[in-house]
A and B are shown apart, each in its own frame.
Chain A
């Protein structure tokens, strides 16, 4: 008989009564068909070590008892199928005190939730039967399906850094479930604003880890409540007002400090025998603050024989308005942009900033629909996605890339990785540069704290989240931190500067352009 395949589980052990600090113990568990992580824990408990403490009850993803960190990501042990080709590290849920081994005290999470009057508030009970339409209740019903597993809370970068202040995605979801309940009379929006509604960086990990119920807390709860906060004059924060005002008066989220990119370039950048034709959407930051990043994008496109249109009269994508709830101004700009692009007649729009591109991909269509406008008639692409998937690897100009013998670590922008599902493409591009030493770290997809208006509105929190990210990235001693987002870029530049480090921050296209130009970055 063939020897049974074994899977390795490295498990964090800690008994606060006797241990000073956690240790790790590795167990080998025979693999069986469709085995779950909970099966493996049972096997260890019953056959190898009955001192292992872990929590479970329903074993069917319905009670939320068994949430633990599985290879660094919170998840339900009973709903995670073991992949026999992998090794596993199991740790207690992050952001909670440990009772023992994999068992945490959820008390702090529950206590924060309990403070938010988490129950239906109405002054008097109605006559029965009470009529409620399906439409009225559908939003609240979906949000009520939460099983309080606290995976989202454990994964949330804002919870980790805001310490006592932010009750987490689970709590925002709870407040939204009442706000969207037609029966509730409590002032949930006010409560949300004072309880950290603007602490959310819109990183989106809360949805990713909500395997049990797929609740999109960021979009449904946080952005839903923010929109109501703005409507009722309670938001956005002071730090955001400037951006909103700026958009209202100039069409851009930031003011002009140096020659805009659109003024530095012609309407169309021609190449011989073009293989394709695109419109480059720079977004406010690239256009008005970090023009070199935009020039590098254009250079990379040019080297790949792509004819590039520069939209001289584009306006802000209003990502910041969507993320902070200021939807009125957002509608205006969306319509202005889409009308303008239609006039230019280009059918591919490429951008670097994933904040812009995810807004164009996901939010613009909703506004157009709401305003009875026809859908836009171009295809939006992130630059990495465009180069790798659209232009295609075969056609990509590799021969002109010159060696860049540097050590690079990559930071996944949340709006690229989670909101657009693009994580492989930038890595492929990096690996294409000759002599580059690319290090992929485990927490590459952890939020840098810039998004969701947190950088503008909650500066300290934003910097604290960035500091944690910087520690993760700098630990591997890179020459360059690579990313692909103008927002992450300025955030990381700041944290590097504050840490007196000489690590450089560059976008993927900056690196490609440097490689084409044969620059030395040492």
Chain B
């Protein structure tokens, strides 16, 4: 078998906020930088972030400090956060926001002309910098402009299938060029993994289609350690229709402005769950209340509940919720007159590849940043911290990777491993008959939603694990792509993604099974309370002797001791 080999010094997988920031940092060195992305530059999931990016600039609340940002982050994370990383996050965030301004970003302003900051859930002060309701878009558009300025080489629509290693270091990656279907190898002394999250593992999600979690899977397969994989955030309100946009984020602002939640029979059900705070109860609680209504048959035909603002004065809706109004109008729903239908929706992976303060993983030459990296957010993420973490650790990863590449020996490839990978990648395309990738994917998403979602228990999680393991076996031998063309064959790419998704699902489920308590976003109906005595610990996942192995490791605490210690 022959394949094209492309050499580069630093290879970045993913062109979201984190990957782009990493590439910019690497380009400070006189090295050859290449970014590959499964989608197109500027179109990564990061564009969808609406709310903002946290940095303790204290523009509105002069008492805000990095310290306090750190405390808020750890308290939201149920103190599972690696506080070394949190310290870096909160201290560097302001500098990275200013970097963005230097690159050309325009944030909304205070009346005095400073960067505007909004209050965001569970934060002591107004700290979340924003650009209208399209902060992620402003961030990514700016980084895109900066990449163009630096003439960094970006290759669109290339799908990474595996990390290549030799003698316990990374030596490159294998890819399928989606546009031609060609299998290729990038040889590089350093690789930065910035492939984003995995919301697509669930049936209902806020995430873009690209977020299937390949980054976690590729890392795992290469022997990299991951952490906190049981911590997955669900958002209480996602749009239920249209089908293609099921799960799309409906902002908290709707409830903030007075929107009420009603079940199928018109009952304002929050009164049964939290009569004091009602719709403004915590994210997790509202999400679980909605899910309970739906589970117990009080949801609408579209497996949803109603979120209603139609009783509010029209003017308030038009002035304070213009984007929501327009978005729903576009699909033929006028929220001034009729309720929205909403459902909880899978939102964010807090866990991920374990990194140290230099964004290095346990595999020499491999760095990680952005949603694919774990440890910063602990058990739950503050709104606005994901974009910040992407910028902060993206820059660090870029710098570290460049430094490593400058001194590392030039990598050599393991041809046998590449041949095996080639066989694996081509198999579903060559198989004449078998399981359909899109049907199998749907099944997995449904099982994860039902059994390993908002509510978890031993039995459901075991059932999910059983499903995953059965399917892993079947799929390697039976998945078949009906579309045989190599050019832009999305069915084939889906087949490869499904294999990654099953691995990630397994990490989620095994970690969730192990944690026999409820902490952060992880909620066990059979262990509904916090158990600091036994479970104040991180769970690490890695492959040992070909088997998925879990291990408890102690939490890194520096400045913000948990209240119970």
Contacts and interface: CB of A to CB of B under 8 A. Distances in A.
Interface of A: 15-18, 32-36, 38-39, 42, 45-46, 50-51, 53-54, 56-65, 78-79, 81, 99-101, 103, 105-106, 110, 114, 117-120, 125, 128-134, 137, 140-141, 144-148, 181
22 contacts: A15-B487, A34-B332, A38-B244, A50-B481, A50-B483, A53-B488, A53-B489, A56-B209, A57-B44, A58-B43, A58-B45, A59-B244, A65-B39, A81-B331, A117-B149, A129-B59, A131-B113, A132-B113, A134-B111, A144-B138, A148-B42, A148-B43
Contacts of A45: 438, 490-491
B137 A125 contact: no
B47 A62 contact: yes
A107 B141 CA distance: 17
Interface string B20-54: 00000000000000000001111111011000000
Contact of A42 (B141, B244, B327): B244
Contacts of B39: 57, 63, 65
Interface stretch (B99-107, B411-419, B519-527): B99-107
B114 A119 contact: no
A34 B241 contact: yes
A120 B104 contact: yes
Contact of B208 (A57, A114, A140): A57
B463 interface: no
B403 interface: no
Nearest to A128: B98
A64 B244 contact: no
Interface in B465-483: 481-483
B371 interface: no
Contacts, number: 162
- Choose among A58, A132, A145 the residue with the greatest number of B CB atoms under 10 Å from its CB: A58
B268 interface: no
Provide the main secondary structure of the chain A interface: loop
Given A58-B48, A59-B244, A64 B101 contact: no
Contacts of B491: 45, 50-51
- Choose among B42, B179, B489, B490 the residue with the greatest number of A CB atoms under 10 Å from its CB: B490
B242 A34 contact: yes
Contact of A39 (B104, B138, B244, B439): B244
B485 A17 contact: yes
Contacts of B44: 57, 63
Nearest to B207: A58
B134 A145 contact: yes
A33 B134 CA distance: 28
B66 to A, nearest CB: 16
Nearest to A142: B132
Contact of A63 (B208, B331, B485): B208
Nearest to B132: A141
A45 B330 CA distance: 24
B7 interface: no
Contact of A57 (B43, B112, B149): B43
Given A50-B436, A129-B114, A140-B106, A60 B248 contact: yes
A57 B39 CA distance: 8
A501 B482 CA distance: 52
Given A36-B331, A57-B210, A129 B244 contact: no
B295 interface: no
Given A32-B243, A119-B146, A79 B330 contact: yes
Contacts of B132: 141, 145
B115 interface: yes
Given A145-B137, A147-B137, A59 B245 contact: yes
Contact of B48 (A50, A60, A99): A60
Nearest to B211: A57
B504 interface: no
Contacts of B145: 118-120
Contacts of B439: 46
A125 to B, nearest CB: 5
Interface string B422-452: 0000000000000010110000000000000
Contacts of A141: 106, 108, 131-132
Nearest to B50: A62
Contact of B43 (A39, A63, A120): A63
A125 B131 CA distance: 20
A36 B113 contact: no
Contact of B485 (A18, A58, A59): A18
B510 to A, nearest CB: 30
Given A59-B208, A62-B137, A141-B132, A118 B243 contact: no
Contacts of B490: 45, 53-54
Contacts of B47: 58, 62-63, 147
Interface residues of B, number: 62
Given A17-B487, A62-B137, A78 B113 contact: no
Interface in B139-184: 141, 145-146, 148-149, 179
B151 to A, nearest CB: 9
Contact of B333 (A34, A56, A100, A130): A34
Given A50-B483, A53-B488, A141-B132, A61 B330 contact: yes
A59 B113 contact: no
A125 B102 contact: yes
B201 interface: no
Nearest to B331: A34
B109 interface: yes
B57 interface: yes
Contact of A51 (B104, B111, B483): B483
A117 B104 CA distance: 13
Nearest to B243: A39
Interface in B191-242: 208-210, 241-242
Name the 8 nearest CB pairs between A and B, nearest first.
A120-B104, A131-B113, A119-B145, A51-B483, A119-B149, A100-B488, A63-B43, A38-B244
A20 to B, nearest CB: 15
Contacts of A63: 39, 42-44, 47-48, 208
Contacts of A181: 104, 106
Interface in B270-299: none
Interface string B105-141: 0101101111100000000000000011010011001
Given A128-B98, A141-B132, A51 B485 contact: yes
A36 B98 CA distance: 40
A129 B60 CA distance: 13
Nearest to B42: A148
A38 B208 CA distance: 14
A46 B44 CA distance: 24
Given A59-B245, A79-B330, A15 B485 contact: yes
Contacts of A38: 244-245
Contacts of A128: 98, 101
A59 B209 contact: yes
B241 A33 contact: yes
